[in-house]
């Protein structure tokens, strides 16, 4: 896996004490290639924030001495990114012919897996092609349903940002557990008999493929931009909600480029169309990202709170409590804007404003020790704890939506 040579690249974590230090980071970002891991772009950087960024071996000396000169506290989270990229794959294949839920799977394996699931559980699982990507890869949604046909539904997506590999791993795990325990586990059986689940295991297929083959740290999709050599749009800034509100998302070379227009990207359009056409039944929208261990709800584009925010906060509080039980993994929760930072054009806000009143975004493990390079040995525990939180949310929605 010699993807993207990031030999001796480092990931630094800087704790910003004040506005002056925040400005120093912003200035460094103008002169050096800082790939922000958290927050996801320079303009979110603010006083009292903890900032994680990747820096090449070549530039790290300059950046580190600038931080030292300004008496800024930093730690080196990752000393050699390339080494961590290789160390992610720390789970051995027990059975090469079988789909492994404890490993990261590339796109070809995920496609084969969707076919296998339909074949294995024909009464329960169907595969819907909701559109294609810029590079003409299929966008597949798996519909999972128990007995009764007319009922409420939940839409879930994973992998809107290519490098967040733990996210598609969770969507696969969810489908596997749902189909495996249906008829055996009381709660799962009840949920599936009364709810349809629409699961999009990989939202940003082209980006995901690119992150496997070319550049492990790729985030956006792979669309070409007019009058720019820079590739890709951030699909989670491309939804038609307050799309225009942050002028700093209009540079195609930025990781958070919003695209030329709302729903300009085939992936965003396909998902938006699908959700709009199933709006009567969809009672919840849940999206999975990494990293930082948070459970978020609207809004991102404004600090105003949604009408049912007390409700959403209560659900999030209990869900994060439940999530911490097996491994004591600590999550924070709250509205996007105040819990992380303001964002525009996100799928979460869009779904909420469309009328889906229960919308949540999970930021999965970890807190930055490995960041996007979470080792495979953490996939199972991450999925197990997340599943507990998800089951709680779904039970709550069953009970409290008409």
Does the bond joining 159 to the residue before it have cis omega, within 30 degrees of 0?
A: no
Q: Which of 255, 268, 262, 178 is nearest to 220 (CA)?
A: 255
CATH code (residue 370): 3.40.630.10
For 117-150, the three-class secondary structure string (H helix, E strand, C coil) is HHHHCCCCEEEEEEEECCCCCEEEEEEECCCCCC
115-142 confidence digits (pLDDT tens): 999 999 999 999 999 999 999 999 999 9
Which ranges constitute the DSSP H helices of 70-216? 81-87, 107-120, 166-181, 186-194, 205-213
By three-state DSSP, how is residue 221 classified? coil
Do 182 and 50 share a domain, yes or no?
no
Q: In whole angstroms, what separates CA 348 from the centre of its chain?
A: 11
* Confidence at residue 235, expressed as pLDDT on a 0 to 100 scale: 97
Q: Which of 58, 3, 61, 9 is nearest to 35 (CA)?
A: 9
Query: Which strands sit side by side in the sheet containing 195-200, from one edge to the other?
Result: 125-132, 138-144, 195-200, 152-158, 282-290, 358-364, 294-297, 332-335
188-210 confidence digits (pLDDT tens): 999 999 999 999 999 999 999 99
The answer for residues whose C-beta is within 8 angstroms of residue 109's C-beta and 6 or more apart is: 99
Dist CA 391 CA 378 (whole Å) = 20
* Confidence at residue 149, expressed as pLDDT on a 0 to 100 scale: 67
Do 34 and 169 share a domain, yes or no?
no
The backbone torsions φ and ψ at residue 138, rounded to the nearest 5 degrees and listed phi first, read -75, 145
The answer to whether the CB of 195 falls within 8 A of the CB of 188 is no
Dist CA 131 CA 373 (whole Å) = 29
Instruction: Identify whether 226 is part of a domain.
Output: no
State which residues form the domain around 65.
Answer: 10-88
By three-state DSSP, how is residue 67 classified? helix
* Confidence at residue 43, expressed as pLDDT on a 0 to 100 scale: 83
CA distance readout (Å), 323 to 103, 262, 330: 21, 34, 8
Q: Which residue has the higher pLDDT, 401 or 105?
A: 105
Do 75 and 141 share a domain, yes or no?
no
**Choosing from 255, 363, 376, 385, which is the catalytic residue?**
363
Do 267 and 184 share a domain, yes or no?
yes
Give, rounded to a whole angstrom, the gap between the first and last alpha carbons of the chain. Answer: 49
* Confidence at residue 1, expressed as pLDDT on a 0 to 100 scale: 37
CATH code (residue 77): 3.30.70.340
The token pair that represents 388 in the structure block: 């507990």
Do 124 and 74 share a domain, yes or no?
no
85-113 confidence digits (pLDDT tens): 999 999 998 787 789 999 999 999 999 99
Do 121 and 80 share a domain, yes or no?
no
Task: Give the pLDDT band of residue 17 (cuts 50, 70, 90).
Answer: very high
Instruction: Identify whether 395 is part of a domain.
Output: yes
Do 361 and 289 share a domain, yes or no?
yes
Instruction: Identify whether 374 is part of a domain.
Output: yes
| 264 CB-contact burial (10 Å; exposed 0-12 / middle 13-18 / buried 19+) | middle
CB neighbour burial string for 303-331, b if at least 16 within 10 angstroms, e if fewer: eebbeebeebbebbeebbebbbeeeebeb
Do 265 and 164 share a domain, yes or no?
yes
Instruction: Identify whether 41 is part of a domain.
Output: yes
Domain boundary residue among 20, 54, 88? Answer: 88
19-56 confidence digits (pLDDT tens): 999 999 999 999 999 999 999 888 889 999 999 999 99
Q: What is the mean predicted confidence (pLDDT) over 230-234? A: 96
135 is an active site residue: no
Do 69 and 112 share a domain, yes or no?
no
| Parallel/antiparallel/unpaired status of strands 138-144 and 73-78 | unpaired
Dist CA 31 CA 53 (whole Å) = 14
Do 359 and 238 share a domain, yes or no?
yes
Instruction: Identify whether 216 is part of a domain.
Output: yes
Q: Model-level pTM?
A: 0.96
Residue carrying structure tokens 């790939």 = 35
Query: Which of 150-154, 169-173, 221-225, 376-380 shows the lowest mean pLDDT across its residues?
Result: 150-154
| 69 CB-contact burial (10 Å; exposed 0-12 / middle 13-18 / buried 19+) | exposed
Domain boundary residue among 37, 56, 88? Answer: 88
Do 217 and 343 share a domain, yes or no?
yes
* Confidence at residue 378, expressed as pLDDT on a 0 to 100 scale: 98
Dist CA 129 CA 114 (whole Å) = 11
CA distance readout (Å), 148 to 174, 275, 300: 20, 21, 36
Instruction: Identify whether 197 is part of a domain.
Output: yes
User: What's the mean per-residue pLDDT of the chain?
Assistant: 94
Q: Which long-range contacts (CB under 8 A, 24 or more apart) does 93-100 make?
A: 99/172
Dist CA 36 CA 333 (whole Å) = 22
| Parallel/antiparallel/unpaired status of strands 195-200 and 332-335 | unpaired
Instruction: Identify whether 227 is part of a domain.
Output: no
Dist CA 41 CA 265 (whole Å) = 21
Q: What is the mean predicted confidence (pLDDT) over 323-328? A: 98
> Domains in the chain: how many in total?
2
pLDDT tops 90 at residue 402: no
Instruction: Identify whether 94 is part of a domain.
Output: no
Do 30 and 63 share a domain, yes or no?
yes
């Amino acid at each position: 896996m010699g993807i993207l040579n990031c030999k001796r690249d480092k990931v630094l974590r800087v704790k910003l004490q004040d506005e002056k230090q925040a400005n120093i980071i912003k200035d460094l970002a103008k002169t050096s290639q800082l790939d922000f891991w958290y927050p996801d772009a320079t303009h979110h950087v603010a006083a009292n924030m903890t900032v994680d960024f990747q820096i090449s071996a070549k530039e790290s000396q300059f950046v580190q001495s600038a931080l030292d000169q300004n008496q800024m506290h930093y730690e080196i989270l990752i000393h050699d990114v390339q080494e961590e990229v290789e160390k992610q794959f720390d789970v051995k294949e027990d059975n090469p012919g079988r789909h492994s839920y404890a490993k990261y799977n590339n796109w070809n394996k995920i496609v084969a897996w969707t076919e296998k699931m339909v074949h294995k559980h024909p009464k329960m699982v169907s595969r819907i092609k909701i559109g294609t990507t810029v590079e003409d890869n299929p966008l597949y949604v798996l519909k999972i349903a128990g007995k009764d046909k007319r009922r409420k539904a939940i839409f879930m997506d994973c992998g809107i940002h290519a490098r967040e590999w733990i996210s598609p791993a969770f969507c696969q795990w969810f489908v596997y557990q749902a189909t495996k325990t249906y008829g055996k586990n009381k709660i799962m059986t009840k949920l599936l008999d009364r709810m349809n689940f629409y699961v999009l295991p990989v939202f940003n297929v082209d980006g995901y493929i690119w992150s496997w083959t070319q550049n492990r740290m790729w985030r956006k999709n792979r669309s070409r931009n007019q009058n720019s050599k820079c590739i890709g749009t951030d699909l989670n800034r491309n939804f038609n909600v307050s799309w225009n509100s942050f002028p700093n998302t209009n540079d195609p070379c930025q990781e958070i480029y919003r695209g030329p227009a709302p729903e300009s990207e085939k992936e965003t359009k396909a998902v938006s169309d699908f959700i709009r056409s199933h709006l009567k039944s969809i009672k919840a929208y849940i999206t999975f990202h990494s990293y930082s261990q948070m459970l978020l709800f609207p809004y991102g584009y404004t600090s105003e709170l949604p009408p049912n925010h007390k409700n959403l906060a209560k659900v999030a509080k209990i869900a994060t409590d439940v999530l911490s039980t097996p491994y004591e993994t600590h999550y924070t929760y709250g509205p996007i804007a105040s819990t992380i930072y303001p964002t525009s054009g996100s799928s979460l806000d869009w779904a909420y404003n469309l009328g889906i009143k229960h919308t949540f975004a999970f930021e999965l493990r970890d807190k930055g020790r490995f960041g996007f390079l979470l080792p495979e040995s953490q996939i199972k525990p991450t999925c197990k704890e997340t599943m507990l939180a998800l089951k709680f949310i779904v039970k709550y929605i069953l009970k409290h939506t008409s």
